[in-house]
Structure 1
């Protein structure tokens, strides 16, 4: 089985390699190809990956290349995990909106739109190369903003599924609080990527979320980064990204005086790359936990295994019950939320099959959640239009549609500033 990772020079990659080594029975990879144009990153990450697999006794061959066509040729699956513009562009995403009193975040609001504009055309070009050289391969998108990028891939006719680690992270945290195996926790997870709520946490058919809210509120505050009073009021566990909506002004004030996350991550990445370059290192560094993406490796391996027709066949870590057939993924709506178009991309539990993901029925979203989901989904459609066709006016329209911007004077200023700051990554803006 050939697995290709585009953006293979990412410091995330050894996290994925760790999962491939631990869960080898789920996904019997024989060749792992890391594709990246940045040799300064690709060389140490590739070497680290080889050492990690060798230490685990894993037989897979690791190949590194800057040639996308050669890297994807004949692949069974391709993971896309890239960041156009690197941490420097991310820093702009996180700081530019603050001057207008808007939240600075790389996937939400103004920064998320900037990232979509830079990313969607590149991912679609890569997907065309995949379709030409590996027409039967599944594309698993881990590139943010996942919902918009996945919608772009699906609209272009590619075999694609979007993946985020938020759901598996919450599942693992709740399982630990409940002292049960992760696979015993069935999350009522619903919404859009980075805009989700866990409305139930069933263990053997019994919803344990009310008890968690009563007995483990401090832990849920930590998971959601939201105050306990709000969690009690909602009776749900929102994704921590909901803080950008529910506590927008407080977060903006904190961001104005704090160190941008991009700078923190850049520092961690430098440390990680130094570790990867050390030939004595052959185990997953503890610093990867500071990089983010907790449980990304398990989520990726389980999704790939199910897409490639191996659900329920493998034993992983102690306590793992094998590859779950139902996993949270970013998929077409197809009637799951009646108030959204079928072509919208949502994040819900889905039955993952070799023919693709099938979203499971979801209890109707309460008006408080449905209204925000509809609002952001409409923005995402306009953001995709701007990413595909360009133009400052389309960018302005998308910002007008976003609930964290909305006002026309803000949208006009931010559209001009955003395009100017990203001109090097927007071919249409250079014309």
Structure 2
């Protein structure tokens, strides 16, 4: 009997996860699914939990769904703990997006100032969850889908003794699916050598039935309609000369770095018209939860794909199933580098193709990154490390340093102005930053 606990169980993504468990029940005999949330998410937890029960019932599966606000009670003797929560809910994300735009800086959930402050709010909570796991379910695996997934994985590896952690993102599987569609083949025939960081990962090579088709795929990417593979990023087409010279496949989030000016202007325009992405998602969620309330609904509604988490269930349950069954298949995840990427410290978190075993991910050795992308990846890794330390210590100076390092800001004066305003906006969730502003922790 397998027990899974999902922190942030009231999320609109949960039906994706449930669908994944239903599809793979023959390989993964789930018996208890515990959905955990906080008081502010109680109503959504009830709605999503009831939908989950209807989905399992319609599938004819004997899965017990438990709903609780008591995280520790849920965790006892769990086999897997998944995390998909948002500290401050979508209101906090909206602030992460709108405040930087006032300064002409990208407002985005996991990049630049938004990524920094989501990490500052999230990391202390994740580390508390890890402490509970060490006490209540020390043999369980933590599968983290909470953004910024790379920075969160870095913090767990660097500031705890817990090693059974895997960070997960739907971007790599979205790229695989998108390329399969471009090539008009089944997804199972595609494999990509992924290497880099979360939302900063590259496809170093692409294989169709074991034969490299990278150059063909790069040519596909010169078409503006093929430049992005995820719903929540409206891509702007790459310059053909640039993408050919780059020589590797960028992920959709690279638009924010290689087309910074255009993307910032696009976000400013959207904020004035349709709203920030957080505000769009707030409306989408209202519609989704109205659907979820329908007692006749017993499947994941197709409207959920607009939410931006497409293929989440495939990625999450594929990973969990592979660990459980010691499949030794290859999947891209966030894990300790251990020499997989030569230009990143061994103890740091990277997003890389791994062999998935019952002992966890075993990274494939990718060697060094191409010189054209190496520096940007190293710069973002420096940002993640300093940001994670700021999150753990509550060090105001380190928060400013982290944001200055980030290439989307690259000004200490601007970084300080943004940090000051965003700290005040998120004061409720960052109390440790207000204890002693003058204290500084040396790197």
Could you say what secondary structure the match of 2:302 adopts?
Answer: coil
For residues 12-38 of structure 1, the C-alpha deviation after alignment (integer angstroms, 9 at most, x for no partner) is 000110111112122210111101122
Deviation at 1:226? 4.3
Runs of 4+ in 1 over 6 A off after TM superposition: none
For residues 315-334 of structure 1, what are the structure 2 equivalents within 5 Å?
Answer: 325-334=329-338
Paired with 1:429 and 1:361, the residues of 2 have a C-alpha distance of 39
Deviation at 1:237? 2.2
Aligned length: 419
Flag the 1:86–1:96 CA change in 2: closer, same or farther, 3 A.
Answer: same
- Residue 221 of structure 1 aligns with which residue? 227
For residues 200-215 of structure 1, what are the structure 2 equivalents within 5 Å?
Answer: 200-214=205-219
Deviation at 1:7? 0.4
Which shows bigger deviation, 169-178 or 33-42?
Answer: 169-178
- Correspondence for 1:150 among 147, 153, 156: 153
- Residue 249 of structure 2 aligns with which residue? 237
Could you say what secondary structure the match of 1:43 adopts?
Answer: helix
* Root-mean-square deviation over aligned CA pairs: 1.5
- Residue 440 of structure 2 aligns with which residue? none
- Residue 172 of structure 1 aligns with which residue? 177
Paired with 1:189 and 1:414, the residues of 2 have a C-alpha distance of 33
Which shows bigger deviation, 271-280 or 116-125?
Answer: 271-280
| 2:404 equivalent to 1:400 | yes
- Correspondence for 2:199 among 194, 210, 226: 194
Flag the 1:310–1:188 CA change in 2: closer, same or farther, 3 A.
Answer: closer
Question: Do the aligned residues in 1 keep the contact of 2:337 with 2:344 (CA within 8 Å)?
Answer: yes
Flag the 1:36–1:215 CA change in 2: closer, same or farther, 3 A.
Answer: closer
- Residue 358 of structure 1 aligns with which residue? 362
Deviation at 1:214? 3.2
Q: Note the residue ranges of structure 1 that are not aligned, 5 or more in a row.
A: 312-323
- Correspondence for 2:79 among 44, 59, 76: 76
- Correspondence for 2:92 among 59, 80, 89: 89
Question: Do the aligned residues in 2 keep the contact of 1:392 with 1:416 (CA within 8 Å)?
Answer: no
Q: Note the residue ranges of structure 2 that are not aligned, 5 or more in a row.
A: 436-443
Deviation at 1:250? 1.1
Provide TM-score, normalisation by structure 2.
0.91
For residues 245-304 of structure 1, the C-alpha deviation after alignment (integer angstroms, 9 at most, x for no partner) is 111111111111212000111111111111111111111111101111111101111111
Deviation at 1:213? 3.1
- Correspondence for 1:343 among 333, 340, 347: 347
Deviation at 1:363? 4.3
Paired with 1:392 and 1:363, the residues of 2 have a C-alpha distance of 36
Deviation at 1:84? 0.2
Provide TM-score, normalisation by structure 1.
0.94
Flag the 1:147–1:215 CA change in 2: closer, same or farther, 3 A.
Answer: closer
Deviation at 1:339? 2.0
- Residue 438 of structure 2 aligns with which residue? none
